[in-house]
Amino acid sequence: MKLCFAGLGIMGGPMAGHLVKAGHDVVGFNRTHAKAQEWACDYGTTAESRLEDAIADADALIMCVGRDEDVRDTVTAALPALKRGALIIDHTTISAKLTRELASICHEKDFSFYDAPVSGGQAGAVNGQLSIMVGGEAGRFGEVVDLVKPYTKSITHLGAAGAGQMTKMANQIAIAGVVQGVAEALHFSKCAGLDPDLVLQAISAGAAGSWQMSNRWPTMNDGKYDFGFAVDWMRKDLGIALDEARSNGAHLALAALVDQFYSEVQAMGGARWDTSSLHARLEARREK
């Protein structure tokens, strides 16, 4: 298939690269054209400086951009030039409200819009092992599955437009609580004079074990916070979830608290640290 992939950052770049390796004709687009050119050089394909040129004759537009306004701008610019009947797959984490709005607009113009946010972080994108949560009409879900297969570990159709985004909100809510719990457990172990390596060995194989504990406990203990998904982006995602909760009546006390903690990490200069930097906040308090 001929594809346009918009958004070639730490997630989108590797994902688009997997599509090239799978044999698709992929044209890259990025707001910073130099990054698109670098990506195209790495994968032996092409990039365009104008979205309208990148999507010419494309069978699908795939996006992994930044925020609501980026998705809105990309779709608005693409629709007049996009081939009728094309798929639009949005891997960006955005609000369910905007997703529903764009899906309705696309449907009226004979395009199929799917919200398909991902989980698995930078490592999942690089290794082609992402979990994908999809909202949209059931009719063309099989086409979506086949198309994104090169970077998919698991994919689930959750329901109508917006269902994928709300599932991603649940994902981020769960992660926020787990990371805070792991950070506090490590912090407590240090304050108690325990050997953090031995504590990890003792508890990670039991009921307390998790991906976050196995992978981030050692890096937290080393004071390293440069493992992908940044605090700025987590706060964006939690903000989306908290906004949705105000609409649907959900009570997210823990998510709201952890969001506040992340604001303190930002104030420490950790806006680009990864989400495990909740531990840095605790250690800073211990040192005072």
Burial profile 182-215: b = 16 or more Cβ within 10 angstroms, e = fewer: bbebbbebbeeeeebeebbeeeeeeeeebebbee
Biggest CA–CA distance in the chain, Å, is 65
Radius of gyration of the chain (CA): 20
Average pLDDT of the chain, as a whole number:
96
Average pLDDT over residues 225-244: 95
- Rounded-to-integer distance, Cα 246 and Cα 228, Å: 29
Side-chain half-sphere CA neighbours of 276 within 13 A: 23
Type of residue found at 139: G
- Rounded-to-integer distance, Cα 121 and Cα 209, Å: 19
Q: What is the pLDDT of residues 74-93, one digit of tens each?
A: 999 999 999 999 999 999 99
Fold agreement between 2-160 and 166-287:
no
Average pLDDT over residues 199-221: 97
* Residues designated as active site: 168
- Residue 135: what pLDDT? 98
One-character DSSP codes across 240-254: HHHHHHHHHT---HH
What residue spans define the domains of the chain? 2-160, 166-287
Helices (H), the chain: 12-21, 33-43, 51-54, 68-78, 96-108, 121-127, 141-148, 163-191, 196-203, 211-221, 231-248, 253-267, 278-287
Q: What is the pLDDT of residues 167-199, one digit of tens each?
A: 999 999 999 999 999 999 999 999 999 999 999
Query: CA dist 232 to 222, 276, 288, Å?
Result: 22, 12, 25
- And the tokens for 23? 């044999």
- Rounded-to-integer distance, Cα 218 and Cα 199, Å: 11
76: number of Cβ within 10 Å:
11
Q: Is the pLDDT of residue 229 over 90?
A: no
Look up residue 228 and give its DSSP letter: S
Kindly report the pTM of this predicted structure.
0.93
Average pLDDT over residues 241-248: 96
The domain 2-160 belongs to what CATH superfamily? Answer: NAD(P)-binding Rossmann-like Domain (3.40.50.720)
Which of 3.40.640.10, 3.30.1360.40, 1.10.1040.10, 1.10.240.10 is the CATH number of 166-287? Answer: 1.10.1040.10
Query: CA dist 92 to 87, 166, 282, Å?
Result: 15, 12, 31
- pLDDT band at residue 287, thresholds of 50, 70 and 90? confident
Look up residue 275 and give its DSSP letter: G
User: Residue 179 in 3-state DSSP?
Assistant: helix
- Residue 288: what pLDDT? 64
Q: Is the pLDDT of residue 286 over 90?
A: no
